[in-house]
Amino acid sequence: MIISLIKYNISYYVKTAKYLPPLIFYMAFLGINYQTAPIGVWSNLHTTTIAIFIFASWIGSSFINSEDKTQQYITRLHVKNETIYYLAKIASIIVFMIPFYAITMLIPLVQGSFIRNVLFIEMMVYIVMYFLIGLLGVALGVLFNRDLISTEPAILAQILIVTIIILPFNVMFEEHLMIVTAYHLLPPVNFLAERLHSLGDGHFVFDSHFFIFVMYALGYAMALIAFFNWAVQRRNKK
């Protein structure tokens, strides 16, 4: 059933063409980002993870709102399980995003744009980071749906929150402990990007800090998805 729902959701979303604004933004970003060479391995990952977070959040909110309310109700009745219905929605968004992760990673490799050869282990880091940051973006984006927030306030709130998350407030206000502490409660997108950027052109080495971050980021995304699932089902019962 999940696979059938994923196919249906992606097909429905593509027909709505709601993916076009975020796609145009993202393709324009890639065109600008990769027009100069050489580019650093980690500075590129820093930049593209921020862009993927914005893109994934935008796709997540437009995808979750793509289905007509009547059609959504009919589909939920057919599935008979709201948890499966909404988890399939999120799985559909993740599957929809995969080709864009691949394009983002392959363009500089095919063009030979990197300042040095990229190791296989570093390519794995790219894959893991794109998945994690994309998942965080999707998990945040689906919270801004019409079942929880009306459309116009949702758009403004999403823009504001995404902006706060991607700006390095922990650096800008490093002398203000309360601001830095509050910033660390947000999805750890910028924290990751800064850590990777600090590697310069050096080679990546797996250590315990990397795995702790991966588990933290994954746990954060799962918590957002669980909250979304609970909140939207609670709203549907009213």
122-136 pLDDT per residue, tens: 888 889 899 999 999
Q: Which two tokens stand for residue 201?
A: 């052109």
**Single-letter code of the amino acid located at 9:** N
> In whole angstroms, what is the distance from residue 165 CA to residue 80 CA?
36
pLDDT at position 169 is 65
**Single-letter code of the amino acid located at 47:** T
- pLDDT surpasses 80 at 66: yes
pLDDT at position 162 is 86
SS3 for 187? Answer: coil
pLDDT at position 172 is 62
Please enumerate in sequence order all residues whose Cβ is within 8 A of that of 50, keeping only pairs 6 or more positions apart, or say none: 166, 189, 190, 193
Reported confidence tier of residue 140, pLDDT bands at 50, 70, 90: very high
182-201 pLDDT per residue, tens: 777 788 887 777 777 666 66
**Domains of the chain: which residue ranges?**
2-236
Backbone angles phi, psi at 39, to 5 degrees: -120, 145
pLDDT at position 38 is 85
Long-range contact pairs involving 173-176 (C-beta distance under 8 Å, separation at least 24): none
- pLDDT surpasses 90 at 116: no
pLDDT at position 147 is 72
pLDDT at position 220 is 92
> In whole angstroms, what is the distance from residue 66 CA to residue 87 CA?
15
Output the average pLDDT for the chain.
84
Higher pLDDT, 13 or 194: 13
pLDDT at position 25 is 93
SS3 for 122? Answer: helix
The verdict on whether omega for the bond into residue 38 sits within 30 degrees of 0, i.e. cis, is: yes
34-58 pLDDT per residue, tens: 888 788 888 888 889 999 999 999 9
SS3 for 114? Answer: strand
- pLDDT surpasses 70 at 206: no
CA dist list (Å): 67 to 53, 61, 71? 23, 12, 6
Q: Which two tokens stand for residue 226?
A: 């669980």
Whether 189 and 165 have beta carbons less than 8 Å apart is answered as yes
Reported confidence tier of residue 174, pLDDT bands at 50, 70, 90: low
pLDDT at position 238 is 67
Higher pLDDT, 170 or 50: 50
Whether 64 and 231 have beta carbons less than 8 Å apart is answered as no
SS3 for 39? Answer: strand
**Can you list the alpha helix ranges (DSSP code H) found in 82-119?**
82-111
